[in-house]
Every structure is written in C-alpha cells, then in structure tokens.
C-alpha cells in the first residue's frame, strides 16, 4: 500500500514540474516589419516590348525577405499600377520566394492601359509617337497570421517602349481605265497606280466620265468600283460620284491633270488637281516677286512642265504655289531626286540652292520632265 502511495506522489510531482516548464517557456509573437521590403536587383533603364516576344521574361526582380520577427509563411504579392500612388493597382503575381520573373506579357498589359501601341502612324496628343510610357511596381508581404500583418516596398518606375512595326510595301499596283481617264479609255493596261506603304497614287489626265480600278491587267472581273470602296468604309472625294450603271467612278470635276490617292491606312480616296510651277528670281522676267510677268510652267502632260522663258546670267528658283515662298523646287531638290540637269545651269551653293544660269542669255523652252527626270533647255 505504501509503494502505491509513493508512486502516486512521484507521478504528481513530475506532472507539476512539467507543467511549470511549459508555462515558463518564452512566447514569440509576430511583429510588423517597420523597415519594409527593399529591392536588391537592378532595373533596366528601359524595357523593349512587342507582341512577338510576349512569352519572354523581361526581368527577374529580387528583394530582401520581410522580417516579422518570427519564422512564418510569408506571401509576396507583386503589384503594378499606372498610378504611383497605387490608389488602383492589380496583382502581377504572387510567390513565397523573394524573387519573381516578370514577362513581356505583363509589360504589354500596362502598355495597353496606357493606350500605347506599335503603329508608327499613331501619335499622342502632342504629336509624338505613342509607343513610350511608364508604370510602377511594388512588393507587398503578408505574414499570414491572425493579425494579418503586412508591409510594402517603395515603388519602382518601369519605363517601357513598344517596338513600332516597320511599314513595308504591302499592296500591289492597281490599273485604272475608262473614258474618264483621258489618255487610256477602256483599254488595258490602262495607267498603273503604284503603291507605297499601303498608299496608292497615280497622276493622270481626267475628263468627265466613268472609270474603274483593276487588280489584274486584262481581267475584267478584277475590277474595284465605287461601291467596292464605299462598302469598305472609304471616304471618297466629292469630285467622284457613283455612276448609276455598273457602279463605276464618275469624275464630275473640272477636266485637267489630277493625282488620285487611295490611302488604305486612313481609308480615303482623294483627287487633287495638279499645279503649275513658277519661276522667280533675278535671272527671269518678274524678278524676285510674284506678279503678272512671273513665268508659269504649265503641266500639259502629267509630270512634265514647260514654258518659254527669257534667261539672264543670274539666279532663280521654282515655286509650286503662286505667291508662296519655299525651297521645295530649288536646284538642290532636283539634284537630290536624281535629275539630269542642263549644263547651262549650276547650283549657286547658297542655302536656298538656287538655279544659276551660266549660258548665253536669251529665250529658251525650259522643260522639267519628272517622268524621265531631266531638266532641259531648247
């Protein structure tokens, strides 16, 4: 009986001792990380993005682990915003590690929010290319405790440039013919309408009558008429109407030489009347002024201007618009365009790049031929 009582007392003492040890153990409580999170990786000064590389990793960001004073399961949230105050933001990703791979696709998401694009034809409100912008990222850490402790990093600025597409000649020539095309009529091949970066142009003599564009020489079924473009959303010049029979274009303007422009980018068809050239300077009648004696070079054939002109040994240049000063048609311009220029002219070497007549003074027929790229005197 004494042995049983003794054993019971020993057991009770052991239990009390163990309980005291348990109660005296230190208790660890998670505390806020007052220092926040610090990025340890460097950021690029600019990130180039494109749809073609959207699956690529743009950067792997690294940061110091948050310290809540006790080992705990910390969740990191990578947040992004186009607003540095992060009043609104979205989660790029979450991780339990202290690093995260950001993809080009993540950057494209914010580029779209900024209304950026890769179209070289679009600009922002100031007229600059709208393919450059910036957004902001930060890290949020959550301790996952009952107190829901969290801390944030300072934000980092991410500069992005959406690589603009390079426009190429993506359209083929068309061929225009009809009674409205004075020099062609309803005869193939008609006149070629050449294409440059989705803009088709042709200079031709127009008269009041019908015409149509064709994609293939000799194929009447390849026609593209007024309705074809109108139904595709094109805005069409008021000098052109829809011909009731056959849905052709009908030219209703003043007969003459015009440039027809089909702009596939902006979906417009424009008909612009060609202009004369005007000779102004000390070497020509009328001198340095626009007046009744100023010599007009008339375009009697598309892209060929000519006039009878008295020349003396001095300088002059050509102007596209009467009474409007510019240097668009000086001698330097024609030299840069690859024209072969009569040896009686030389460039005066000034900033205006004037023609200088060095031949025998007299009256000549001067012809500017932009088809064969020549300037001649006869």
- Cβ density class 280-301: b for 16+ within 10 Å, e for less: bbebbbbeeeeeeebbebebee
Q: How many CB atoms lie within 10 A of CB 340?
A: 13
How far apart are alpha carbons 320 and 278 in whole angstroms?
A: 6
Q: Are 177 and 185 in contact (CB under 8 A)?
A: yes
pLDDT of residue 169: 55
Q: How many CB atoms lie within 10 A of CB 262?
A: 23
CB within 8 Å of 102: residues ≥ 6 apart:
57, 58, 59, 60, 61, 78, 92, 93, 137
Q: Are 172 and 144 in contact (CB under 8 A)?
A: no
pLDDT of residue 124: 85
pLDDT of residue 128: 85
pLDDT of residue 279: 97
Architecture of domain 174-273: Sandwich (2.60)
Q: Are 172 and 215 in contact (CB under 8 A)?
A: yes
Dihedral (CA of 103, 106, 107, 109) sign = positive
Write down the CATH number for the domain with range 277-377.
2.60.40
pLDDT of residue 30: 46
pLDDT of residue 14: 40
Sheet holding 277-281: strands in order across? 340-341, 374-377, 362-369, 304-311, 295-301, 277-281, 315-319, 355-357, 345-347
- Give the pTM: 0.55
Length of the chain: 378
Dihedral (CA of 239, 244, 246, 247) sign = positive
Instruction: Give 285's DSSP letter.
Output: T
Class of domain 47-162: mainly beta
pLDDT per residue rounded down to tens, the chain (378 residues):
333 333 333 343 344 344 444 444 444 444 555 467 999 999 999 999 999 999 999 999 999 988 887 657 889 999 999 999 999 999 999 999 999 999 999 999 999 999 999 988 888 888 888 999 999 999 999 887 556 788 999 999 999 999 998 766 568 999 999 999 999 999 999 999 999 888 999 999 999 999 999 999 999 999 999 999 999 999 999 999 999 877 899 999 999 999 999 999 899 999 999 999 999 999 999 999 999 999 999 999 999 999 999 999 999 999 999 999 987 899 999 999 999 999 999 999 999 999 999 999 999 999 999 999 999 999
Q: Are 345 and 254 in contact (CB under 8 A)?
A: no
In the chain, ranges of CATH 2.60.40 domains: 47-162, 174-273, 277-377
pLDDT of residue 16: 39
Query: How do beta strands 209-214 and 99-103 pair?
Result: unpaired
State the residue for tokens 């020489």: 217
Q: How many CB atoms lie within 10 A of CB 342?
A: 17
Q: Are 68 and 33 in contact (CB under 8 A)?
A: yes
Q: Are 315 and 282 in contact (CB under 8 A)?
A: yes
pLDDT of residue 133: 95
3-class DSSP state of 89? coil
Angle at 336 between CA 330 and CA 338, to 5 degrees: 110
| CA count, 13 A, side-chain hemisphere, 339 | 25
pLDDT of residue 240: 97
Dihedral (CA of 246, 249, 252, 255) sign = negative
């Amino acid at each position: 009986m004494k042995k049983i009582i003794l054993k019971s007392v020993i057991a009770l003492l052991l239990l009390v001792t163990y309980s005291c040890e348990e109660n005296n153990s230190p208790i660890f409580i998670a505390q806020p990380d007052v220092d926040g999170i610090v990025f340890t990786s460097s950021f690029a000064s600019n990130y180039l993005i494109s749809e073609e590389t959207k699956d690529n990793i743009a950067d792997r960001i690294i940061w110091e682990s948050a310290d809540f004073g006790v080992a705990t399961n910390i969740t990191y949230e990578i947040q992004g915003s186009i607003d540095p105050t992060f009043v609104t933001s979205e989660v790029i990703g979450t991780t339990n590690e202290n690093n995260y791979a950001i993809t080009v696709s993540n950057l494209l998401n914010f580029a779209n929010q900024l209304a950026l694009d890769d179209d070289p034809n679009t600009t922002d409100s100031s007229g600059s290319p709208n393919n450059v912008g910036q957004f902001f990222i930060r890290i949020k850490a959550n301790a996952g405790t009952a107190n829901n402790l969290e801390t944030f990093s300072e934000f980092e600025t991410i500069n992005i440039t959406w690589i603009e597409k390079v426009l190429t000649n993506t359209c083929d020539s068309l061929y225009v013919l009809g009674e409205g095309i004075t020099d062609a009529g309803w005869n193939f091949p008609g006149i070629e309408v050449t294409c440059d970066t989705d803009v088709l142009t042709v200079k031709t003599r127009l008269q009041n009558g019908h015409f149509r564009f064709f994609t293939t020489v000799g194929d009447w079924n390849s026609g593209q008429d007024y309705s074809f473009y109108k139904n595709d959303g094109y805005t069409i010049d008021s000098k052109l109407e829809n011909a009731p029979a056959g849905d052709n274009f009908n030219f209703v303007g003043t007969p003459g030489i015009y440039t027809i422009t089909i702009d596939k980018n902006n979906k417009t068809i424009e008909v612009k009347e060609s202009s004369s050239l005007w000779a102004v300077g000390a070497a020509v009648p009328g001198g340095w002024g626009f007046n009744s004696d100023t010599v007009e070079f008339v375009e009697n054939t598309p892209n060929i201007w000519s006039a009878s002109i008295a020349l003396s040994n001095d300088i002059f240049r050509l102007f596209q618009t009467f009474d409007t000063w510019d240097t668009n048609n000086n001698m330097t311009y024609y030299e840069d365009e690859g024209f072969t220029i009569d040896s009686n002219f030389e460039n005066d070497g000034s900033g205006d790049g004037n023609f200088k007549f060095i031949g025998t003074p007299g009256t000549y027929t001067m012809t500017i031929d932009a088809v064969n790229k020549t300037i001649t005197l006869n």
